[in-house]
Structure 1
């Protein structure tokens, strides 16, 4: 990354913003003077603002001060959503086994590096979120009226810490010094911070922000409006709970590489008086604008469905949906079960089922109720998109293995497409996805699974036996989010599923590792469709155990061994001009990913997540 690339970006921040918010509603001039980035002093160290502004820069901020709400709205809305299909869905979502993509088969889903897609994610984080929005916001809050903007200064930093975590988990080491303080690095060739350093800065931000929100000055009166903060409506308590839950998520992320740091940060999150997320109303999410006149503002999954329904049920999720709750008491921890799973990985079969078929009335397993809400049974697109309504087949749910190409244009008659009604923005719990449906980036169910793992590790005095309680509560919270509990039939399905979970026995007679496998597998199901988090946890824990390699090898040009899973995204080619860029490949593990449990033949081995 070179400084001179971004000078013009910083000078155009407000103009870039004007098309993304309803300025007429705010009586704000969309052609107000642009932001002047000039600073005086400042160092690369830490997160504190240790610089001052030139007179012109301060006047520039004051002239655009009325736009901070609009800027924050765009900052939150576009945070992980900008160019979602190419920046996330065809990479992170596929690598997390959340998206089976029958399109772009030989591209990123097969580990081929696509520079345009990586460059898009990189550009949006640095040009748009960091320089154009975050920098302008924290400088305005700090220099224009520090006490008045006290709370929103810290709220903005909490969300930036969230975005930082997704960026470093994607690439590993990243340039972040100066940027985190709202500055543009003065050097032409920008230094990369190690991922360990980035996590240290994230924890500093969260620590400072949580303390600041607990102790606001009397003059801290500014609050984001409901239209600017469409998730939490400016509610400081909800932001505190999000910050604590994020802190616990990231503490567990580093538990294998730095157990002491993980415990310290995790216990701070668990003991903070604001607590963790308390219910679905605390979910951090993306709420679509749902405005056809400004394309791209609808739910991205509904949009992608309209582009040929190329997102289908992955084979790994099919197995998970069909093999967690076992009617006849199959021992999921026994060698026989593991052998069948491994065999299924090669043959495309499912444990306990005959002839690759799953008959709900005859199978040994209870189908996960979430499957029926989130995926269609294999059905032709003509029948799914019929003018007189959706005509779904009665076929068994079918999962797609990444890299398979044989089915061509008839893939929705073989595999299960996402359960989408792209013709409406009316919510329907039976067909979950539509043009206005939210996407959850961090949810209440995840917070319960985080707490389950924290209990398993004995953090903050939580009884180890509570791991089972939070595990079950996490599953129920996930089911309830999808409103499966809304009627007696759905509640019965939930009860049947939970009461027959084969993994429950791990909490009475299993090792810590066996218990963790159950927690992470169910968390993986609950976190869907957030591939940023799902892929990170796959790499950290090596669960679920049945993730598959691309069917016919990968197209990484040797960067990723054919017997290994992909570990990170390569830096965009524009970074090759910076001699300080680290020399990593897509097969290089990131800092907190301490071991690869697939051997040289591609066989999965039980990991060690307790070091």
Structure 2
């Protein structure tokens, strides 16, 4: 319980104990835990506290077992960032496409119970009167719900809380959801921009766990999020993507570009980062094979800022390939651990903003600048985030490429030189390259820079096919996920198929195929 709540309760009890006036019997005997709504509105707690909780649960901050199932044992692994040395469920689990329904309910449960519900409550209480809180809720809600849609596809968004008689609560197709995201972002941006322009009081400071109440920073984040979603749909809906992307690029307050302080990272202090628990307390998390291949191949100075060397050698880094045979945890637990993270959970970096601009420039969007300059700025922003110098030497490296992968425990897992899954992309920008090779270069560096945010990295890999990752060795999907196509989504959660079956059936009909991990999402053309 926060200190202001304790202080308020003690104050109320003191008033009760100090009064002997029987005429005030009803007031004295009022439950001190029942705060009057007007009292809560007076210092904005009625709207602000729910939105604090929404931020904290974008990735559930205080429940590592749930966080492990919410993101780590799906997106963090599917993105090529991390791998578990643990043979969960007899080595038939998500890491080798043996999808476990009781794991795959968790992203849905956390997002609706801990984020969507609280944002909806805050919007209901703030509408018309506290429009800045309403706008803030819109932005937080889009950040949470686009992540959920990028896991499953159809979601309950515009019809949230609306029961359609016996037909259940209807879903939006992913296209409908994305169009609603853009609408909410536009409204939220416009509202907060108006507050800034008229120098109105900025009232969210006590509840803002990212930017300490700075409305300008929230507008910059929302603009960048709008650009992210525009780029996401650029292949499937280029006209809508261009309109939304250019609106973000040309907004007067701009994107997240100035410094690492612009990064969208939720402060969960004093709670430790859930990845620390997974990696060090449970030993359930290690470096991935693609991370080893790419970072060691490029001699990337970010390597030691992301991972620690193996237990056996202070100068060697080893990652685990996805979907391999693991008989016991001890086989691979000595491979490279992740570094220990601070008390902030990172969801968007300034480097990502530059790489989004770089891709927008490839498409000729107004306000994007040049791809080459944005690419260099993205790498520089990532280096700055870790206080690394010599970025120019790195950017001028036209020789180094990702290394072949050698598993010292089992040669069957190797990716040798010349393998089709091993990228030949170098670091130095080449204006003469084809648009596709330029895209691979941008996304590869973007993937490196976004670490450890596996949800966004998995989405970008599915959308673009980059960076080149290694397919699973063992595929336990019973043919529903083609090995060379990689996993494209999670099936609809069983709790929904059990409690909302007719609506789920209608939602599944909007997909490009059956409700399996092998069916691509709307924006996924690869």
Q: Which TM bucket (shorter chain)?
A: 0.7 to 0.9
Q: CA–CA distance in 2 between the matches of 1:470 and 1:456?
A: 11
**Retained in 2: the 8 A contact 1:100–1:311?**
yes
**Retained in 2: the 8 A contact 1:151–1:220?**
no
Extract unaligned runs of 5+ from structure 1.
1-18, 32-58, 291-296, 325-366, 381-392, 421-432, 485-490, 596-611
Closer, same or farther: CA 480–218 of 1 in aligned 2, 3 Å? closer
In structure 2, the partner of 1:194 is: 173
Where do residues 44-443 of structure 1 align in structure 2 (5 Å cutoff)? 62=38, 65=41, 66-81=45-60, 83-103=66-86, 104=88, 105-131=91-117, 133-142=118-127, 146=129, 149-179=130-160, 183-185=161-163, 187-188=165-166, 189-216=168-195, 221=201, 223-226=203-206, 228-277=207-256, 278-290=258-270, 297-324=271-298, 367-379=299-311, 393-406=313-326, 408-411=328-331, 415-420=335-340, 433=341, 436-443=342-349
The structural deviation recorded for 1:93 is: 0.4
**Retained in 1: the 8 A contact 2:351–2:378?**
yes
The structural deviation recorded for 1:307 is: 2.8
Q: CA–CA distance in 2 between the matches of 1:258 and 1:239?
A: 27
Q: CA–CA distance in 1 between the matches of 2:249 and 2:452?
A: 26
Alignment TM-score, normalising by the size of structure 1: 0.70
In structure 1, the partner of 2:372 is: 468
Closer, same or farther: CA 125–69 of 1 in aligned 2, 3 Å? same
Closer, same or farther: CA 497–590 of 1 in aligned 2, 3 Å? same
Q: CA–CA distance in 2 between the matches of 1:580 and 1:199?
A: 19
CA deviations on 1:203-223 (whole Å, 9 max, x unpaired) are 000111111122239795461
Closer, same or farther: CA 276–375 of 1 in aligned 2, 3 Å? same
The structural deviation recorded for 1:61 is: 5.2
Alignment TM-score, normalising by the size of structure 2: 0.81
The structural deviation recorded for 1:201 is: 0.2
The structural deviation recorded for 1:587 is: 0.7
Q: CA–CA distance in 2 between the matches of 1:214 and 1:117?
A: 40
Where do residues 489-568 of structure 1 align in structure 2 (5 Å cutoff)? 491-492=389-390, 494-502=391-399, 503=426, 507-545=430-468, 547-552=469-474, 554-568=475-489
Q: CA–CA distance in 2 between the matches of 1:76 and 1:521?
A: 28
Closer, same or farther: CA 242–263 of 1 in aligned 2, 3 Å? same
CA deviations on 1:531-558 (whole Å, 9 max, x unpaired) are 110000001001012x112112x22233
Closer, same or farther: CA 592–61 of 1 in aligned 2, 3 Å? farther
Closer, same or farther: CA 459–399 of 1 in aligned 2, 3 Å? same
**Retained in 2: the 8 A contact 1:244–1:272?**
yes
The structural deviation recorded for 1:224 is: 1.4
Q: Secondary structure at the match of 1:593?
A: coil
Closer, same or farther: CA 537–317 of 1 in aligned 2, 3 Å? same
Q: CA–CA distance in 1 between the matches of 2:279 and 2:297?
A: 27
Where do residues 15-26 of structure 1 align in structure 2 (5 Å cutoff)? 21-22=2-3, 24=5
Closer, same or farther: CA 407–224 of 1 in aligned 2, 3 Å? same
**Retained in 1: the 8 A contact 2:159–2:170?**
no
Q: 2:386 aligns with which of 477, 482, 492?
A: 482
Extract unaligned runs of 5+ from structure 2.
13-34, 400-425, 509-514
Moved more, 244-253 or 67-76: 67-76
Q: CA–CA distance in 2 between the matches of 1:219 and 1:238?
A: 15
Closer, same or farther: CA 538–234 of 1 in aligned 2, 3 Å? same
Q: 2:356 aligns with which of 421, 435, 450?
A: 450
Closer, same or farther: CA 213–222 of 1 in aligned 2, 3 Å? closer
Closer, same or farther: CA 199–412 of 1 in aligned 2, 3 Å? same
Q: CA–CA distance in 2 between the matches of 1:314 and 1:467?
A: 29
In structure 2, the partner of 1:385 is: none
The structural deviation recorded for 1:472 is: 1.3
**Retained in 2: the 8 A contact 1:80–1:163?**
no
Q: CA–CA distance in 2 between the matches of 1:198 and 1:409?
A: 41
RMSD: 2.5
Q: Secondary structure at the match of 1:580?
A: helix
Please identify runs of 4+ aligned residues in structure 1 that moved more than 3 A: 59-67, 183-188, 216-222, 405-414, 501-506
The structural deviation recorded for 1:79 is: 1.9
The structural deviation recorded for 1:444 is: 0.5
Q: CA–CA distance in 2 between the matches of 1:508 and 1:107?
A: 43
Q: CA–CA distance in 2 between the matches of 1:256 and 1:156?
A: 29
The structural deviation recorded for 1:117 is: 2.3
Q: Secondary structure at the match of 2:444?
A: helix
CA deviations on 1:365-397 (whole Å, 9 max, x unpaired) are xx11111122111116xxxxxxxxxxxx33421
**Retained in 1: the 8 A contact 2:279–2:286?**
no
The structural deviation recorded for 1:437 is: 3.6
